[in-house]
Amino acid sequence: MTALIQIENLHYRPGSVAPGQPDILRGIDLTVEKGDFIAIIGKNGSGKTTLIKHINGLLLPTRGRVLVNDFDTRQVENQRSLHSLVGMVFQNPADQIVASTVEEDVAFGLENLNLPTSEIRVRVDEQLSAAGLIDEAARPPHLLSGGQIQKVALAGVLARKPQVILFDEPTSMLDVQVREAFLQQICQLHHQGMTILYITHHMEEAVFADRVLVMHDGQIALSGSPAHIFNDKSGILYELGLETPEATRFADLFRSIGFTIDKSILTPEELFAQLPPYSEKVDHHPVSRSKSSDKSIPSPLIDLLDVHYTYLAGSPLAKKALTGVELAIHQGQIHGIAGANGSGKSTLLQQINGILRPEQGNIRVGSLTLEDPDTRLLEIIRKVGLVFQSPESQFFEVFVGDEIAYGPKQLGMDDIRQRVQQAMTLVGLDFETFKDRRLETLSGGEKRKVALASTLVLNQEILLFDEPTAGMDPQARNALISLFEKLQLEGKTIIIASHRMEETGKIAEKLSLMQDGQVIGSGFCGEILAATSMIHTAGLDQPLAVKTGQKLVENGWPLNAADMVNPERLFSTLKVLTE
């Protein structure tokens, strides 16, 4: 049987790679059969995106060849056939949005295939309905949330009914409920015979694939079934900057404190099925549970009262984004803002740093009154920094070093080279290696690190992060969480908007939930995360630590919300209970 995709000795070296630097891809050999579902994992910059861009002909081999259904991607006459056979959802979905309205964008590829108008209408409506975007059909894509743009991009690909779909971090901007529905859709496409290559930094997604490829330094380092890759106890995944799925790590932690748990756990459902009941015969020491208190807390550093904001107010395309937000954030806190796509998180952050001004209500940041038109944006920027959801949207320069230096130059700061070097070190970018790299040659995760450094270099008092770990590999995500803790110790106030509740539970002291432009709940992180009904109402899901703790409570274990806020707290409590 002839393979659908055959990659032979693939090397790739763009002209922008400096002499002495290795090729981006180095000797890739890969066979993909029709109907395969392959997950591709690896550190930022390992070559994952570059590899799949060779399959649809966006990039051409420097050496070697790529065959798709026997079409050689190097031959120009095969390009039209390739575009019909292979669809791709990019890491930054805005890169593939070309039309002025959502429905026109979904129809764009179909029109290029010269399909009848009636068929185009049916396919567009079908995909918009499946994506939950029927009400947004006439809206400009740039007015949608990041997650909604991702859905538009996917709808446009699926409408063409390709044989192969390439996914590059497709869930990085999606909230949990949409993400789960999306993964179910991918699995359904796979069962229908679709060939899928799926890049992800979330190991929990890779377990659904038939095969997992682990890339490192432009080569395939490991290949095998999810069980083979993730149950390897040699530690090679960690050496490659990756990790096992969270349920697998939890199983390891349970075994380390004496629980009998299988070594083949990959999913939460497999883990929950093996959690034991609590035995009253087990002697245990009472667990000290300190309660936090709001007594003697000073006035908030950031205060929002009845804040409203409408995009394109007064026009037929008007869309309410904030509808009476009430929020107080205190100095030195790490405060999480969580909500589904389109709940208002990004708009709220842009209100706090003055990019958008409220149409109604009051916002105070320190001594600055943001609804006052006389409050200059430059005053706010000196105090408040924002890292956007899509890092490319805040780039001004061509080279990494120049980009990070841009802000300090505009503000007339001294010692710019030293500031840039320190900021790059903080985010894990080697100064000499990256300062002269062109921004377009970076991976998605590396671009996010540049965006982080471009903000940290300004040394602002308040730092706002919009989905800061999207597109980052596990090692980089853990390093960023450690960086947030370090910045807090230095006195920074940090606000993190995210729908990744596992990460929020690890770092945030306070948590606010948003839905339909309002804050529907706010309090200590553990208490909010334990409020199952409220979390689900907000379109989110609880971290695995909370769900595991609640399952243990059902089994009689004496735990409370504070014990379950993150894995460290959960397992330290369980260790005390089992000693």
Task: Note the helical H segments in 273-364.
Answer: 345-352
What's residue 204's pLDDT? Answer: 94
Tell me if residue 373 falls in helix, strand or coil. Answer: coil
368: how many CB neighbours lie within 10 A of its CB?
17
CB 397 within 8 A of CB 406: yes
**The token pair that represents 57 in the structure block:** 């002909």
- Return the residue matching tokens 């006035």: 299
CATH 3.30.160.70 assigned to 5-241? no
What's residue 479's pLDDT? Answer: 87
What pTM did the predictor assign? 0.83
Tell me if residue 108 falls in helix, strand or coil. Answer: helix
Sequence-distant (6+) residues with CB within 8 A of 329 are 300, 301, 302, 303, 335, 493, 495, 510
User: In whole angstroms, what is the distance from residue 114 CA to residue 80 CA?
Assistant: 13
The CATH homologous superfamily of the domain defined by 302-542: P-loop containing nucleotide triphosphate hydrolases (3.40.50.300)
Q: If residue 297 lies in a helix (H) or strand (E), which one and from where to where?
A: none
* Domains of the chain, residue spans: 5-241, 245-274+543-579, 302-542
* Low-confidence residues in the chain, pLDDT < 70: 1-2, 146, 280-297
| 5-241 and 302-542 agree in CATH topology | yes
The per-type count for the chain, helices as H runs and strands as E runs, is 23, 20
What's residue 291's pLDDT? Answer: 44
Longest Cα pair distance anywhere in the chain, in angstroms? 75
User: In whole angstroms, what is the distance from residue 544 CA to residue 374 CA?
Assistant: 47
What's residue 146's pLDDT? Answer: 66
User: In whole angstroms, what is the distance from residue 555 CA to residue 570 CA?
Assistant: 15
DSSP 459-488: --SEEEEESTTTT--HHHHHHHHHHHHHHH
Ramachandran bin of 352, using left for φ above 0, alpha for ψ from -120 to 50, beta for the remaining angles: alpha
